[in-house]
Each structure stands twice: as structure tokens, then as C-alpha cells.
Amino acid sequence: MAVNIDLEGRVCVVTGASGELGRVISRTLGAAGAKVALHFFQAEEKANALLEELQSLGVAAMTVQADVTEMESVAAIHNAVEAELGPADVIVDNAVIQYTWVPVLEQSLEDFESQFRSCVMHNVHMVKAFAPGMIAKGWGRVIGINTECAMQCFETQAAYASAKRGMDGLYRVLARELGPHGITVNQVAPGWMISDRVRADGTESQPDYEAKVLLNRRGTDQDVANTVAFLASDLAEFITGAFIPVCGGSVMPTI
């Protein structure tokens, strides 16, 4: 018997859909039959190009601009998605603010604050906007993109790792609070993945990093998207509260 990831009729909202991981996640969800809302903040041209690509393949999709660090802006995402695609079944919180990594003593306070807002408050805003509708249906998926850095906590990662660890705490609480309503809450934690930008730069090979990966290679953006699609599907209906590294074993959660 064949087993397929079937998201036919599901409405998925992907934040940061115009980004390196977001584009592949959105394509993969659409290929599985989902309707996809493509959130962007500033990269409107990339979002529109992705929209055209998905629509050309017969995927019901839309774009929506918002600042995920602001509750009012996220509420507008909810209203726009519900009006055009219908109530959301799946939210994929992928967006994050980019910044320069430097030692703690050199990192600006603003960087710590922005990372907290994009990694923690972003997720708070999204569940406040979308979880009530999922509760009403008795079904939903909350999927957050975390990182292996949350476990590594290497030098210069302080703002990023501390915010992502805060996100982890939030997701564990949400798993407890939303589970009784039939909503799963899980995190996907990529390693240093190969994306379109890396392919264009020709920087796929990173021997120092690969030497610490149990599979002796870097993973790809598609590896992340495949895990997201699985968690969004009925195949993962009994998985919640999980932190799933997609990093070839460079980090391994312990019991």
C-alpha cells in the first residue's frame, strides 16, 4: 500500500515564505495539495514570483505582507487568509530577522530584542491569531522552524540561540495547552542547510562543518520542507511537543 503526504484542501500559512527555506516549504506544501498563503515582509518581488510559480502549477495561493513582530499586523494576515483561502489549518512559523553574529560583549541590545521578537513574539502572535480557529475545528498544526544552534550555543550565537531557546519553551507550553483541542505543536530544527543562495554561490562544500555531521554532508532545504510537510499531514497526527533536528546528526537531543 502506497503512503502519500496528502494535504488536499488544507490551508497552510507560511511566514517568511519568500526566504530561502520558506520558498521550498511553500512549494512542497502546495505539491501535496495544500492551499498556501505566502507571507513576506519586504521581499515582495520574490513573493510574487513564487505566487506565479505555484499558481502555474494549479496551487491555490496568495501573498500577504506583514510584520510578524507586531500583533496587529499578524491579525491582518489572519483576516486576509480567511477571506481568500478560508480558515487556516496549518501555520508554519519560519520568518526570522537576520543580523550579524558577534560576541555577546559586542552584540547590540537591539539585536537581542529583535531576535526575541522574531523568534518568540512572532510565534505568540501567530497562535493568538490562528489557534482559536483551529480550536473551533478541533484540528490544527503549529510548526515552528527552530535551529540546531539552540542546542549548540556556540560563540557569537547568543542573540539567536537565546531567542530560539525561548521559542522552544513557548512551543512546549503550547503543546500542552493546545493538545486537548486536537492541535499538534512541533519544531523543526535545521542545521546549516544548502539553499538556492548557497548553490548560486558555489559554497555547498564546508569540510569543517561536514566533519561534525554524522552523515558527513550538509542537508538541503528540501530536507527541511519534507519534514514540515510530514508534520502538517495526518501521518503525524500523534506527534506533538517534538523538537526534530534536521541536521544529519550534528546535534542529538537526549532523554
Name the residues annotated as catalytic: 160
Q: Do 122 and 146 contact (CB within 8 A), yes or no?
A: no
Smallest CA-to-CA distance from 93 within 231, 235, 237 is with 231
Whose cell is 499531514? That residue is 233
Smallest CA-to-CA distance from 177 within 129, 127, 133 is with 127
Residue 212, burial from CB neighbour count under 10 angstroms (0-12, 13-18, 19+): middle
CB neighbour list of residue 78: distance below 8 Å, 6 or more residues apart: 88, 129, 130, 133
The span from the CA of 215 to the CA of 128, in Å, is: 39
Smallest CA-to-CA distance from 243 within 168, 178, 184 is with 168
